[in-house]
Structure 1
Amino acid sequence: MLYLVVGLLWIALSDRALLLMVDDLELLGQLQTLKGWGYVVVTAIVLFLLVYFPLKARDRASREARRLTGIVERSPVVAIEWATTPGWPVTFVSPNIERWGIARDALLRGEVHYADLIHPDDIDRIVAEVAAHIERGPDRYTQLYRLRDGPGGWVWLEDRTWLTRDESGQVIRINGLLVDVTERRRAEQDLRDSETRFRAIFDNVQEAILLQDLDTEALIGLNAAAEKMYGYSRAELLACNVADLSADETGFDVQRQKALMERARRGEQLVFEWRARHRDGHGFWVEANLQVTEIAGEKLLLVTLRNIEARKQAEAALARQVDRLSQAERHAGLGSWEYLLENRELWWSDRLYGLLGCDAHYGKPTLESFARNFFDLESADGASFSAALETLIAGGRPGPQRLLLKARPEVREEAWFSLTMEAPIERADGLHYVQGTVLEVTELKRNELELRNLNATLEQRVAERTAALQALNQELESFSYAVSHDLKAPLRGIEGYSQLLEADYGEQLEGEGRTFLSNIRNGVAQMNELISDLLAYSRMERRPLEERTVRVRALVEEVLESVDRGLRERAEVSIEIDPDLCFVSDPDGVALILRNLLENAFKFSAEREVPQVTVQAESRSATLGITVRDNGIGFDMAFRDRIFDIFQRLNRAEAYPGTGVGLALVRRAVHRLRGEIRAEGMPGEGATFQVEFPR
Structure 2
Amino acid sequence: MNIKIRDFCELLFGDLQNGIWVVDKNGSVVFANSSMKRFLGIEDNNRSMGIFDKYLSQQSLNGVVYYDRLAVKVKTLLQVIPFENMTMETTSGNHLYGSGMLIPYLDENSNYSGFFGVLENIKSCQNEKEFFGSKKSSEKKLQSVYRNSPVVAFLWSAEKDWPVKYVSENISQFGYIAEELMSGNLKYGDLIHPEDIDKVRNEVARYESEGKTFFSQEYRILTKKGKVRWVIERSLIERNEDGIPIHFQGIIIDITERKKAEKALEESEKKFRALFENANDAILLHDLDGNFLEVNKVACSKLGYARDELLKMNIKDFISPECTLTAYEMIKKAKDDKHSVFEVVHVRKDNSTFPAELSTSHFRYHGKSVILSICRDISERKQAEKKLKKYADELERSNELKDLFTDILRHDLLNPAGIIDGFTETVLEMENNETKIEILQKIRNNNKKIIHMIESASEFARLETMDDIEFKKIDICSLIDDVIENFEQDISQKNMDVEFISTQKCYALANEVIEDVFSNLLSNAIKYSPEGSKILIEIADKDDYWKVQVIDEGVGIPDEHKLHIFDRFKRAAKGGVKGTGLGLAIVKRIVELHKGEYGVEDNPKGKGSKFWITLKKYT
Q: Identify the TM-score tier after normalising by the shorter chain.
A: 0.3 to 0.5
Larger Rg: 1
Normalising by structure 2, report the TM-score. 0.45
Bigger fraction of residues in helix: 1
Bigger fraction of residues in strand: 2
